[in-house]
Structure 1
Amino acid sequence: MTRSWWGWGNVEDAVVGAEADELVGRVAALLPEHDFTPHDPPAVADLDLKAPQVEVPASLAEIASADPEDRAAHTHGKAYRDVVRNLQGDLAHPPDLVLRPRSEQEVVDVLDWATSASVAVVPFGGGTSVVGGVEARFDGPAVSLDLGALDQVLEIDPVSRAARIQGGVLGPALEAQLRPHGLTLRHFPQSFEFSTLGGWLATRAGGHYATVLTHIDDLTESLRVVSPTGVGESRRLPGSGAGPSPDRMFLGSEGTLGIITEAWMRLQDRPRWRAGVTVDFDSFDAAVAATRAVAQSGLNPSNCRLLDPMEALLNVGSSTRGGLLVLAFESADHPVDVLLDRAIELARDHDGKPGERSVRDAAATAAETAGAGDPAEAWRSSFLRMPYQRDAVTRRSLIAETFETACTWDRFPTMHAAITTAAYDVMGALGITGVITCRFTHVYPDGPAPYYGVYASGRWGSLLPMWDEIKAGVSEAMTTHGGTITHHHAVGRDHAPWYARQRPDPFAAALRGAKAALDPAGILNPGVLGL
């Protein structure tokens, strides 16, 4: 497989042919006046990247690359605005070099050199940031520190059910190394195939579980971090009340305080029993109420995702008047049918209509488990294709991107209305048409994590300013009405203005103090988190 330098994933998996035609037809039904002429990405040889400004010492030459395609692929992340800039050949700030350390000592050596030479270091895991977290959006020399060579599970503790894992391992490679031991991290963000453990930790990624173990934080036992002032490793403990947590300082630090080279992660036995169902509702309010009832029940489903009618139609192909709730339970220890039964009762209390149940255990055959060919499986397949579909419509001048947040249940109706109104108001002011969708990716007893999709008819050459206006309008609405600027996409550079307003001033001062203590030369990922 060949990784795309300009867009998501593998070149061979791009949306083309009949799949592209079907996608365009579906969108054209909503936006019939749009010009769907495709625009091809430029060849790397035609990008005219500026020449590297720095050279590494001989001791680092073996791990350094100035290859144009390497530099192009490490210039941006994978946000909508990144894809647009790549398609238009706008790579104003490519890294001077890409460095691939093969050991922790080489990470130390890179930071020592960069500090002495005043060269910025932008940590790079899988490069899937959608918030401007891996680009050198500043003047001056910079290198991209690609940790992909640090990709091993180093040690497994089967008694405590934990593993010591290097930060550069991609999701599939991590699970492949755990599978022979009957264990799993069970953390599956949408970017799973192309993102790394270190990236999940540095951005506090959200994963597979809709309840309880929603963030990578919940699976972290200890961290090992290299900063310009030294190497630190926290003690492995199931829990501790010994002061502020050292791990919490680096979780979500997005490469501004140090490089996460290793982590001890809590594992689980691989699940044997699964049961799921989709529930249809006649009103969105009833669907939200049912989802809240399940979230507050203590049943802790592994999947509890609510799709509004437009989300269900566009991304699953299912028609619903009020919403579709996707429920699933799993366990390595016991059947989960009774848990699903109770969740269905709660949904029925709000006039939910359950579809066919999907039940699987370790002895079930493929034929016995396949039918449940229901919207839940359609949703999973669509979920993995969404980034590729985003690239396909972006090439055709569509605005297609997502916003995510979290709020308490009492604030959701007002915030939801404000976000929807803001998106349509901005589109109206821009003279474009579009739709907004909503789904809950994660739910907590005290609130949901709504995830919004915006699909609008853009104009080639004006896509970025249009997107920036929609981004600003929606971000203002969600933060003004009690939501967070991000639930699991991180802050990066794109969310920094709203993050600065969300965090308390004393905490901001403490964070700047930590930055000064750990990175006194300010070389680590300048601009991320507003640092």
Structure 2
Amino acid sequence: MHSKTRSWWGWGYVEDAVTAEERAELTRRTAALLPGADLTVHEAPPVASFGVGASRVRAPRALASIVSEDVRDRLAHSHGQAFRDVVRALLGRLPHVPDLVVRPASQEQVVDVLDWCTGADIAVIPFGGGSSVVGGVEPRVGDAYAGVVSLDLTSMDRVLEVDTASRAALVQAGVFGPHLEEQLRPTGHTVRFFPQSFEFSTLGGWLATRAGGHFATHLTHIDDLTEAVRVITPSGAVTTRRLPGSGAGPSPDRMFLGSEGSLGVITEAWVRLQERPRWRAGASVGFADHDAGVRAVRALSQSGLNPANCRLLDPMEALINAGSPTAVLVLGFESADHPVHAWMERALELCRDHGGTLTEPPRHTGTADRSARTAAADAWRSSFMRMPYHRDALAAQGMIVETFETACTWDRFDSLRAAVDEAARDAMRQVGVVGVVTCRFTHVYPDGPAPYFGIYAAGEWGKTVEQWDEIKQAVSEALISSGGTITHHHAVGRDHRPWYDRQRPDLFGSALRAAKTVLDPAGILNPGVLIDPLRDH
């Protein structure tokens, strides 16, 4: 699909990394925000400097054509895309490298790989698109296995069937977001699922992590778009029935959604489709009082209007990413069936009731383009899409630039926000860094928001991973203690395990462990994710 080169250590394509002009502007803005920060640029070390050893295992001859032992390939599959992953790569600290990268091209080959690894005592780490930010794809499995392979399904990337009557498609799990939409475009349909990682994440990854998309209300999680799945486990295949809904016991789909490759490998799924939107409306609403903006968003979330975009940026987030000195609500509606003027007008009424003011008139369009956006929304969207590249650039300059997200009920939001802010600031003082905390809403529900926090701090080069880990520990404690979830859409992985274990009911954890013993009795699938490995290290 692309002639560009994926970065082995950071986000996206090498050719799309920040330009000299972008870096100069980032440096200027960061120096203004955090005077005194040491913003020296550090380059990624050469691949050869990691001293990656030879593979400890050898694939059967029948699988040789789908196996890679290339060092660059193995390093690229040794980590995800969290801040700590990127910085460790820049520092030359990637101690957990898979022995092989395996790219099956069919379900039969997935079966063969799992059979081989079960018999040879090899851990299997499903990789998806590698965009995990919680240690979910890192081969950090201890020394209880003969070896580790990274299972990459991106060769399985086709839309196999489209049911236009039911508006659903059977899709292979290894497809990246853009290629999925390209294949659906001739039919006039879309999955309408656009996480920030869209370009570099796969359908299987979305399903395995219960990912959240770009849209703020209604059909926000991949759960809502899943009609049926097919999963290959070491004990056999599981294929669920296509149904619009069912009350027949606990949902088998839900058992595998969010299982992070620990119960089986999702190889294909029937996903619900929608017609491509024709009508759009967009507006940016300013709030001098951020708390008033929160109340306006709560009213919108409970109005039944279901805006496609309802992102409230606090003043610091708005200043950094949209150039606004006040809180900004990026508001949008869209439809494939009808104009959305009335929905936008009622939404703006609700905003005015809470002191919101329009920075410019709302924009409307009746075409298939995306022109119904305001200048502030355009600035934020451009920043949003470039954020991962900017994060990498700033990480290479000693900055701590990372995010964490949660969800809570509306009655708990004020206390949760205050607790997180206090915990983050105290932790930054403890580790000796100066920084700011930001907050925006990514998704909103009638009963609560999904706050997405950001940390921008001037770290000390060589210590920023440890500094961030201390901050992460503190804010995670604040989230759990304040009644929030440890993650709204970033999954559990290995990094969130301590807090997930506290959030998850103990008996459910035991049931999950029992399910794994049935589906993966040798315990080879992504050991340590969700539950402890089935064997001692």
TM-score category, normalised to shorter length = over 0.9
Taking the TM superposition and a 5 Å limit, the aligned residue runs for 1:412-427 are: 412-427=413-428
Q: In structure 2, the residue corresponding to 1:453 is in which secondary structure?
A: strand
Partners of 2:218 and 2:306 within 8 A in 1 = yes
Partners of 1:50 and 1:94 within 8 A in 2 = no
Instruction: Say yes or no: does 1:244 pair with 2:250.
Output: yes
Quote the Cα distance in structure 2 between the aligned partners of 1:25 and 1:292: 36
Taking the TM superposition and a 5 Å limit, the aligned residue runs for 1:47-126 are: 47-126=50-129
**Of the candidates 141, 148, 165, which is equivalent to residue 142 of structure 1?**
148
| Cα deviations by residue, 1:161-205 (Å, 9 ceiling, x for unpaired) | 000000000000000000000000000000000000000000000
| Cα deviations by residue, 1:231-265 (Å, 9 ceiling, x for unpaired) | 01100000000000000000000000000000000
Instruction: Say yes or no: does 1:316 pair with 2:322.
Output: yes
Quote the Cα distance in structure 1 between the aligned partners of 2:374 and 2:472: 36
**TM-score relative to the length of structure 1:** 0.98
Q: In structure 1, the residue corresponding to 2:108 is in which secondary structure?
A: helix
Partners of 2:284 and 2:374 within 8 A in 1 = no
Q: Which residue of 2 aligns with 1:326?
A: 330
- Return the offset for 1:284: 1.1
- Return the offset for 1:363: 4.4
Quote the Cα distance in structure 2 between the aligned partners of 1:266 and 1:102: 24
Instruction: Say yes or no: does 1:405 pair with 2:388.
Output: no
Instruction: Say yes or no: does 1:6 pair with 2:12.
Output: no
**Of the candidates 6, 19, 22, which is equivalent to residue 22 of structure 2?**
19
| Cα deviations by residue, 1:446-473 (Å, 9 ceiling, x for unpaired) | 0000000001111111111111100000
Partners of 1:273 and 1:336 within 8 A in 2 = yes
**TM-score relative to the length of structure 2:** 0.97
- Return the offset for 1:138: 2.5
- Return the offset for 1:282: 1.1
Quote the Cα distance in structure 2 between the aligned partners of 1:129 and 1:434: 25
**Of the candidates 230, 236, 241, which is equivalent to residue 230 of structure 1?**
236
Partners of 1:493 and 1:530 within 8 A in 2 = no
Instruction: Say yes or no: does 1:38 pair with 2:38.
Output: no
Question: Which moved further from structure 2: 134-143 or 519-528?
Answer: 134-143
Aligned-partner residue type, residue 90 of structure 1: R
Q: Which residue of 2 aligns with 1:454?
A: 455
Aligned-partner residue type, residue 343 of structure 1: A
- Return the offset for 1:374: 1.4
Q: In structure 1, the residue corresponding to 2:530 is in which secondary structure?
A: helix
Instruction: Say yes or no: does 1:220 pair with 2:222.
Output: no
Quote the Cα distance in structure 2 between the aligned partners of 1:199 and 1:412: 29
Aligned residue pairs: how many?
Answer: 526
Q: Which residue of 2 aligns with 1:490?
A: 491
Aligned-partner residue type, residue 33 of structure 2: L
Quote the Cα distance in structure 1 between the aligned partners of 2:531 and 2:391: 28
Q: Which residue of 1 aligns with 2:474?
A: 473
Sort the Cα spacing of 1:362 and 1:352 in 2 relative to 1 into closer, same or farther, 3 A: closer
Quote the Cα distance in structure 2 between the aligned partners of 1:325 and 1:440: 9
**Of the candidates 166, 173, 177, which is equivalent to residue 179 of structure 2?**
173
Q: Which residue of 2 aligns with 1:188?
A: 194
Instruction: Say yes or no: does 1:516 pair with 2:522.
Output: no
Sort the Cα spacing of 1:498 and 1:344 in 2 relative to 1 into closer, same or farther, 3 A: same
- Return the offset for 1:365: 8.4
Q: Which residue of 1 aligns with 2:161?
A: 155
Question: Which moved further from structure 2: 38-47 or 330-339?
Answer: 38-47
Q: In structure 1, the residue corresponding to 2:466 is in which secondary structure?
A: helix
Quote the Cα distance in structure 2 between the aligned partners of 1:444 and 1:252: 20
Instruction: Say yes or no: does 1:267 pair with 2:273.
Output: yes
Q: Please, which runs of 5 or more residues in structure 1 have no aligned partner?
A: none
| Cα deviations by residue, 1:477-522 (Å, 9 ceiling, x for unpaired) | 0110010000000000000000000000110010000111100000
Instruction: Say yes or no: does 1:361 pair with 2:362.
Output: no
- Return the offset for 1:373: 4.4
Q: Which residue of 1 aligns with 2:293?
A: 287
Q: In structure 2, the residue corresponding to 1:235 is in which secondary structure?
A: coil
Partners of 2:398 and 2:458 within 8 A in 1 = yes
Partners of 2:279 and 2:367 within 8 A in 1 = no
Sort the Cα spacing of 1:348 and 1:510 in 2 relative to 1 into closer, same or farther, 3 A: same
Aligned-partner residue type, residue 417 of structure 1: A
Instruction: Say yes or no: does 1:349 pair with 2:353.
Output: yes
Quote the Cα distance in structure 1 between the aligned partners of 2:383 and 2:526: 33
Q: In structure 2, the residue corresponding to 1:226 is in which secondary structure?
A: strand
Q: In structure 1, the residue corresponding to 2:316 is in which secondary structure?
A: helix
Aligned-partner residue type, residue 483 of structure 1: G
| Cα deviations by residue, 1:250-303 (Å, 9 ceiling, x for unpaired) | 000000000000000000000000001111011111010000000000000000
Sort the Cα spacing of 1:364 and 1:193 in 2 relative to 1 into closer, same or farther, 3 A: closer
Quote the Cα distance in structure 1 between the aligned partners of 2:396 and 2:355: 42
- Return the offset for 1:208: 2.2
Q: In structure 1, the residue corresponding to 2:162 is in which secondary structure?
A: strand
Question: Which moved further from structure 2: 457-466 or 97-106?
Answer: 457-466
Moved over 3 A (4+): 357-366
Aligned-partner residue type, residue 264 of structure 1: W
Question: Which moved further from structure 2: 145-154 or 357-366?
Answer: 357-366
Q: In structure 1, the residue corresponding to 2:10 is in which secondary structure?
A: coil
Partners of 1:497 and 1:530 within 8 A in 2 = no
Q: In structure 2, the residue corresponding to 1:529 is in which secondary structure?
A: coil
Q: In structure 1, the residue corresponding to 2:231 is in which secondary structure?
A: strand
- Return the offset for 1:378: 1.2
Aligned-partner residue type, residue 389 of structure 1: H
Partners of 1:275 and 1:357 within 8 A in 2 = no
Q: Please, which runs of 5 or more residues in structure 2 have no aligned partner?
A: 533-537
- Return the offset for 1:318: 1.8
- Return the offset for 1:354: 1.7
